[in-house]
Structure 1
Amino acid sequence: MFTGLSAFPLTPTSDSGIDEHAYAQLVSRLAQAGVDSIGALGSTGGYAYLSHDQRAQAARIAVDAADGTPVLVGIGALRTSQVLALAEDAQTAGASAVLLAPMTYQPLTEDEVFGLYEDVTRELSVPLCVYDNPGTTHVHFTDELHARIAQLPQVASIKIPPVPGDPAAAKQRVEALRARVPEAVTIGISGDWAAATGLNAGCDVWYSVVGGLFPETALALTRAARNGDAGRAAALSDRLEPLWELFRRHGSLRVMSAAASHLQRAAEVNLPLPLRGLAPDARRQLIAVLEDLDLGAGA
């Protein structure tokens, strides 16, 4: 499950809770489209803003709606005890794997980050993906730290931040990390605008935001890269640059929230406060981009 396209859907949420029907429909569409795995409760899924009970609920909904497609469930939290409880919930729900970002308020040392993964993997019965996302967690993984963590039992994949835009530099980045981790541990790219470059540079999987709402579009790019057609993968990504620009400017979560509501895949209000949707001008820009790219309900 740690190769190909892993699609990360929005978790439609309001102050009254998770919209179970909308969430199940989003997940079901991904399974029907044939994605390789589904990433529930990632950053796009708003995991950090949900209560323990809501996260357990979301895990159950995702596994049920995925109908056999492997589900990767995010378990990041501030305290190790909370992470362990969330891991148990995910496993009880039937998750095929878990995704762990080292959330923190106080800056963590490398030994503290390693200790988190050591404590969690000791208790796991399913594989774990290391979530390296300095843009939100402000934890910066070195390759040495990745190498230590990758030796732990159950560690099966590493979700890395965007690679350099230059293909040669991107390949050098991926190869440098791969040389430090066991062969069985896959490397996955995040930051959708870097997906084609990362896959062409040798990443095994795309942990995709856009795939959570437009799976066919993301699958086409992923399959081109995985089949060795680097030029087509790059061209497909270049075509999506207007969307990538909106991601970089406003944040991919806000953009996907607005897109889901525009396409009537979620209610108008689908983010938990204090998060808010796009401002009117930005929303109009997004709608124009979706129309220009022909990203409709089935894309």
Structure 2
Amino acid sequence: MQFQGLSAFPITPADPQGHVDTAALRRLLRRLADAEVDSIGLLGSTGTYAYLNRAERRRAVEAAVAELGGAVPLLVGIGALRTDDAVRHGQDAKAAGADAVLLAPVSYTPLTEAEVFEHFATVARAVDLPVVIYNNPGTTHFTFSNELIVRLSQVPGVVAVKNPAPDAAAVKAELAALRAGVKPGFSIGYSGDWKATEALLAGGEAWYSVVGGLFPAPLMQLVRAARAGDAAEARRLNAALQPLWDLFIAHSSLRVVYAAANLLGLTDAAPPRPILPLDEPVKRQVAEVMRALGLR
């Protein structure tokens, strides 16, 4: 698996009891495969991994592997409060046919850097798949320092990081500082769709994208322009998507993509409780933005 380009992160449709709708999931994944995304990030935050039990996570991975048939590399989220549970999720992902795992330091008690390092080192030793560091302080309430990412990059099996994209003015310096310390070949990628274009143009290898998990075609155009060094075209395509970014910022990308998937008729699933779907006026805004941007 190459940790570069567009990694598309779809929702995981499920019923109110947390049973994954594998037919709807496979429809979502087929859109991504047909668009030739570089990889698929299953069971990320958009995939609501934290709300699914072990059996349902494994069912989701098995359905994804069956649908994709190896055509698109599959990165699977394995975050859990306990290290032994994260190991079991990783081993399940391996047994089901995943290509790599994405590990977030999920916590209730705030974690120290020493604890997070040991958590990752333990999982990397126990799971025979490449491990991607998931730096998502908005949900885990733990922020990786550059020093910790550099240390983890030396751990066998830890191969990449998914960082939140910084502001455009800071991204070049942050990327250069991190790249100076990590081992050669370690991939530095970014999430945060409304900021990721500048991170790609600055030299980030991968865009881990929420909107790419539902509308891959315009994101593939943007990524190709960025990777070709066509900054003007990449910025033009990104600016065209600003109405969607505005919705993400105002209402959360998770709620917006659930509403959009419902509007497309791909699933009637709602976000897992206690997350509530968008109210009707905002759903109408989502529909209007989709029409205006030609998203289908």
Normalised TM-score (structure 1): 0.96
**1:57 pairs with 2:42:** no
CA distance in 2, matches of 1:177, 1:277: 38
1:162-173 counterparts in 2 under 5 A?
Answer: 162-166=165-169, 169-173=170-174
2:22 to 2, 20, 23: 20
CA distance in 2, matches of 1:8, 1:66: 14
**1:6 pairs with 2:7:** yes
Of stretches 115-124 and 71-80 in structure 1, the one that deviates more from structure 2 is 115-124
Mapped contact 1:14–1:271 kept (Cα < 8 A):
no
- Secondary structure of 2:24 counterpart: helix
Of stretches 89-98 and 28-37 in structure 1, the one that deviates more from structure 2 is 28-37
CA distance in 2, matches of 1:19, 1:253: 17
Name 1:114's counterpart in structure 2: 117
CA distance in 2, matches of 1:65, 1:175: 38
Name 1:40's counterpart in structure 2: 42
CA distance in 2, matches of 1:227, 1:77: 38
Mapped contact 1:31–1:67 kept (Cα < 8 A):
no
1:240-255 counterparts in 2 under 5 A?
Answer: 240-255=241-256
Name 1:285's counterpart in structure 2: 285
2:147 to 105, 123, 144: 144
Q: State the Cα distance separating 1:38 from its structure 2 match.
A: 0.5
Name 1:78's counterpart in structure 2: 81
Alpha-carbon displacement from aligned partner over 1:69-89 (angstroms, at most 9, x marks no partner): 110000000000100000010
Q: State the Cα distance separating 1:270 from its structure 2 match.
A: 2.7
The amino acid across from 1:3 in the alignment is: Q
Mapped contact 1:209–1:252 kept (Cα < 8 A):
yes
Q: State the Cα distance separating 1:4 from its structure 2 match.
A: 0.8
Name 1:233's counterpart in structure 2: 234
Of stretches 127-136 and 269-278 in structure 1, the one that deviates more from structure 2 is 269-278
CA distance in 2, matches of 1:213, 1:127: 25
Q: State the Cα distance separating 1:255 from its structure 2 match.
A: 0.5
Name 1:66's counterpart in structure 2: 68
Mapped contact 1:28–1:67 kept (Cα < 8 A):
no
Name 1:193's counterpart in structure 2: 194
CA distance in 1, matches of 2:260, 2:79: 26
Name 2:294's counterpart in structure 1: 294
- Secondary structure of 2:107 counterpart: coil
Mapped contact 1:130–1:159 kept (Cα < 8 A):
yes
The amino acid across from 1:102 in the alignment is: P
- Secondary structure of 1:87 counterpart: helix
Using the aligned pairs only, state the percent identity. Answer: 49
CA distance in 2, matches of 1:19, 1:9: 13
CA distance in 1, matches of 2:140, 2:242: 26
| Gap runs ≥5 in structure 2 | none
- Secondary structure of 2:168 counterpart: coil
Q: State the Cα distance separating 1:160 from its structure 2 match.
A: 0.3
The amino acid across from 1:57 in the alignment is: R
- Secondary structure of 1:171 counterpart: helix
Q: State the Cα distance separating 1:257 from its structure 2 match.
A: 0.3
Normalised TM-score (structure 2): 0.97
Alpha-carbon displacement from aligned partner over 1:273-294 (angstroms, at most 9, x marks no partner): 1112111121111111111111
Q: State the Cα distance separating 1:67 from its structure 2 match.
A: 2.1
CA distance in 2, matches of 1:215, 1:90: 24
1:197-212 counterparts in 2 under 5 A?
Answer: 197-212=198-213
Alpha-carbon displacement from aligned partner over 1:103-161 (angstroms, at most 9, x marks no partner): 00000000000010010111121111100000111101110111111110111110000
**1:153 pairs with 2:147:** no
CA distance in 1, matches of 2:208, 2:153: 18
Q: State the Cα distance separating 1:165 from its structure 2 match.
A: 2.5
Name 1:261's counterpart in structure 2: 262
Of stretches 272-281 and 68-77 in structure 1, the one that deviates more from structure 2 is 272-281
